[in-house]
Structure 1
Amino acid sequence: MIDKSSSVAKERSTAREDRFQGHDYYNLDELLSDDHLLAREAVRAWVKQEVSPIIEEYSERAECPTHLFKGLAEIGAFGPSLPAEYGGGGMDEIAYGIIMQELERGDSGIRSMASVQGSLVMYPIYKFGSEEQRRKYLPKLASGEFIGCFGLTEPDHGSNPAGMVTNVKDDGDAYILNGAKMWITNSPVADLAVVWAKREDGKVIGLIVEKDMPG
Structure 2
Amino acid sequence: MFYLGPGGLPTITQGDTIQGLKDLSNLGLNAMEIEFVRSIYLKKDKAIEVGKVAKKLGIRLSVHASYFINLCNPQKIKQSQQRILDSCKIGHYLGAKYIVFHPGYYGPLSTEKAYSLVKNSCEELRSKIDKNRWHVILGLETTGKKSQFGTLEENLRISKEVEGCVPVIDFAHLFARKNGEINYSEILNKLKKFRELHT
Instruction: Give the TM-score normalised by structure 2.
Output: 0.31
Structure in which a larger fraction of residues adopt helix: 1
Instruction: Give the TM-score normalised by structure 1.
Output: 0.29
The structure that has the greater radius of gyration is 1
